[in-house]
Amino acid sequence: MQTLILDEQPDYFWSEVKANKIEDYFSIKLPPDQVEIVIIKTPTTVDQSFIARYPKLKMIIRSGSGYDNIDLKLTRKANIIVCNTPEANTIAAFEHTMAFIFAMIKQHQRSKKNVLQKKWKDELAWNYEINELTVLVVGLGRIGTKVAQALQLFGARVWAVDPYLSQKQWLEKKITRVSYDQGLKCANLISYHCPLTKETKNYFSDNTLNTLSHPAYLVNTARGPIVNEVSLKKGLNSGQIIAAGLDVYDSEPNPELTFGEYDNVYLTPHTGAYTQAAKIRLAKEVVTTWKSFVDGGEAISRVFSKND
């Protein structure tokens, strides 16, 4: 099937295409009426005009895990299959989340500042141990599950919220299921791993702050708009948020609120999947997804809309 590459792919991808001897099917330029599969990343938005442009489109492969740039209601209506690559970034994003957690509870930034200013331990609060944490993991997919299970191994009490899991999946993951409000009332660490949807936009908000019963750490390695940045700043100023680790922002690559004034906010430039190993897995997963559909009619890692 003729496949259009709409967003730039790494050299690993083209090497994988060549290794599978399928170069003739891929192009960065094709007449719209010949396109049957498109491969996209974050910059491309799939809306009504996009779908109308490609009348023969059968599949969209999202190179990456997020799919908030794709209108799933429209693709469902047009009988276009949408797949992503959820496995590729799992390990890197899990490790990035854990790095934030350790840095926050051990106060790495404030401690460095104390050393440089020759204050030693002056004015440093006591560090937390992970076994003192009650954690709410929001979104128990591949990354959220690894985070939850790792923290359990360290002795933390871990709860999770995910409306898309079956009872069987909850039992297999061995994580305690709670509602969002229940978790907020008990947690002193909240880690977001859910997709960005209408329901999860501004999931952390002023209402979240009003629901919290204890000061809490916050990590967001999912999507920026899940955490309302104005509300987060209020929480930091009031002490309701002890510290925050942010890899994603409401506006990228130039966040409107940099949080640079806070010693207890840890910032990275959307590098949760920024490893060479993850990029190689991503290239392989895109090609595997393509081949599975073209050769066998199987849509692996298919993304379903809420009505599917």
Active-site amino acid positions: 223, 252, 270
| Helix (H), strand (E) at residue 210 | helix 206-211
Tokens of 273: 């999947």
Give the residue carrying structure tokens 């599917």: 308
DSSP class of residue 227 equals B
CA distance to 134, 262, 294, 299, per residue, from 19 (Å): 47, 48, 17, 22
Q: Which residue, among 73, 20, 17, 63, has the nearest Cα to 42 in the 3D structure?
A: 63
Question: Do 30 and 7 touch, CB atoms closer than 8 A?
Answer: no
Output the CA torsion sign for 194, 197, 203, 204.
Answer: positive
Output the CA torsion sign for 176, 178, 182, 187.
Answer: positive
Give the residue carrying structure tokens 């390990």: 91
Give the residue carrying structure tokens 């996209």: 40
Residue 278 CA to residue 170 CA, distance in Å, equals: 27
Tokens of 294: 């073209």
DSSP class of residue 120 equals T
Give the residue carrying structure tokens 């491309």: 44
Distance of CA 107 to the CA centre of its chain: 24
